[in-house]
Amino acid sequence: MIQDIGAGRYHNEYKNCRPDKNSQVICCRGREIFVAKREQEPTAEEENGKEKECASEITFPSYDQVIAAFPQLEGKETYLFSIDEVSYFLFREENGEELVRQAQEVFRGFGWERMELLRTAYPRERAFAGVTGMQLANWYAGHRFCPQCGTRLLHSEKERMLFCPSCRRTEYPKISPAVIVGVTDGDEILLTKYAGRAFTKYALIAGFAEIGESIEDTVRREVMEEVGLKVKNLRYYKSQPWSFSDTLLMGFFVQVDGDRTVRLDRTELSVATWCKREDVPQDDGLSLTREMMRVFRENRRI
Ligand SMILES: [Zn+2]
């Protein structure tokens, strides 16, 4: 899955530290990220006509490169996180604006890319750094001022927290919990397709937790709302940070309870169909949904 970065160790705890020679800079503009990318050489199979996988090797500008071009920014960075020995930094607010405006002209070989590139880019730890860094960059960009009194927010020295010097309100990065649900009935699982979206592959039932609701209640409510089924025997499977939408996904397998006739919510879904284990589509995507479909197809203990 997207957070699986091999042997790389992700250190998320906030440190008020200085960059070093390995440090990299995450630079974003809305849903675009600034990277150098190199296309992967096609494999022999791809050259023989097999569908090409569009994976790119990506590189971020190093801290030293940024400071060489923008010496006035030295010391004005914000620490994000580290993966192994590489720490990642961001230039926020006014400090980042000039960088964003001029990056394209200053850094040869780099360019603005849509964040979806990070779903397939490699090395995986760098792609993970990109998507997680973008989430933090967008959070900082949306929290310059206190939502209560309008005063400019300040960064805590000790943790990843912004606070208002006037009314003392505090702001932490937002994460929305959501569920992915594999509804099963013996050797069959309910596969769905979303209504009105470009994404046309089969998926599982999914939805966000509401305020005041336990995650188990989210599972039961989403299944009832989307396909009109009662469920029982909830089994937690695994979670996945999905920074593309500030979400923490939690996967559950459940059994249908009683009547398995689907009543489709057509505003949410266009299709919901029971599918035999061996007929579940094969797809090696990085999402929790893909992994749960794969696990069910292979009949692994869940
Ligand atoms: Zn305030």
Q: pLDDT per residue over 103-115, tens digit each?
A: 999 999 999 999 9
Task: Find out whether 29 and 112 touch, Cβ atoms under 8 Å.
Answer: yes
Q: Using the predicted structure, report yes or no on whether residue 50 has a pLDDT greater than 60.
A: no
Distance between CA 187 and CA 67 in Å, rounded?
58
Q: What is the pLDDT of residue 302?
A: 62
Distance (angstroms) between ligand 1 centre and the Cα of 198 equals 41
Distance between CA 66 and CA 20 in Å, rounded?
13
Mean pLDDT of the chain: 90
Q: How would residue 199 be classed by pLDDT, with cut points 50, 70 and 90? A: low
Distance (angstroms) between ligand 1 centre and the Cα of 114 equals 34
Distance (angstroms) between ligand 1 centre and the Cα of 143 equals 12
Q: How would residue 2 be classed by pLDDT, with cut points 50, 70 and 90? A: low
Q: What is the pLDDT of residue 105?
A: 93
Which tokens go with 63? 């801290």
**129 vs 269, higher pLDDT:** 129
Share of the chain above pLDDT 70, in %: 91
What residues does 113 pair with on adjacent strands?
A: 33
* Residue 276 phi, psi dihedral angles, 5° rounding: -65, 150
| Cα distances (Å, whole numbers) of residue 182 to 53, 88, 185, 198, 241 | 28, 36, 10, 22, 18
Q: Using the predicted structure, report yes or no on whether residue 5 has a pLDDT greater than 80.
A: no
Q: What is the pLDDT of residue 287?
A: 86
H/E segment holding residue 121: none
Q: Using the predicted structure, report yes or no on whether residue 200 has a pLDDT greater than 80.
A: no
Strands 205-208 and 10-11 come out as unpaired
How many C-beta neighbours within 10 Å does residue 134 have? 23
What is the rounded average pLDDT of the residues 10-32?
Answer: 92
Q: How would residue 221 be classed by pLDDT, with cut points 50, 70 and 90? A: very high
Q: Using the predicted structure, report yes or no on whether residue 231 has a pLDDT greater than 70.
A: yes
Distance (angstroms) between ligand 1 centre and the Cα of 84 equals 37
Task: Find out whether 253 and 182 touch, Cβ atoms under 8 Å.
Answer: yes
Q: What is the pLDDT of residue 54?
A: 62
Q: Using the predicted structure, report yes or no on whether residue 300 has a pLDDT greater than 90.
A: no
Distance (angstroms) between ligand 1 centre and the Cα of 152 equals 8
Q: Using the predicted structure, report yes or no on whether residue 125 has a pLDDT greater than 60.
A: yes
Q: Using the predicted structure, report yes or no on whether residue 84 has a pLDDT greater than 60.
A: yes
Distance between CA 44 and CA 8 in Å, rounded?
29
DSSP string, 175-194: -EEEEEEEEEETTEEEEEEE
Nearest one of 78, 63, 77, 86 to 5, comparing CA atoms: 86
DSSP string, 190-229: EEEEETT-S--S-B-EEEEPPTT--HHHHHHHHHHHHH--
How many C-beta neighbours within 10 Å does residue 125 have? 18
Task: Find out whether 205 and 223 touch, Cβ atoms under 8 Å.
Answer: yes
Distance (angstroms) between ligand 1 centre and the Cα of 161 equals 14
Calculate Rg over the CA atoms of the chain.
22
Distance (angstroms) between ligand 1 centre and the Cα of 173 equals 17
Q: What is the pLDDT of residue 86?
A: 95
Distance (angstroms) between ligand 1 centre and the Cα of 163 equals 8
Q: How would residue 236 be classed by pLDDT, with cut points 50, 70 and 90? A: very high
Q: How does pLDDT run across 161-186, given as a tens digit for each residue?
A: 999 999 999 999 989 999 999 999 99
Q: How would residue 278 be classed by pLDDT, with cut points 50, 70 and 90? A: very high
DSSP string, 81-105: EEETTEEEEE--HHHHHHHHHHHHH
Q: What is the pLDDT of residue 216?
A: 97
Distance (angstroms) between ligand 1 centre and the Cα of 160 equals 17
Share of the chain above pLDDT 90, in %: 73
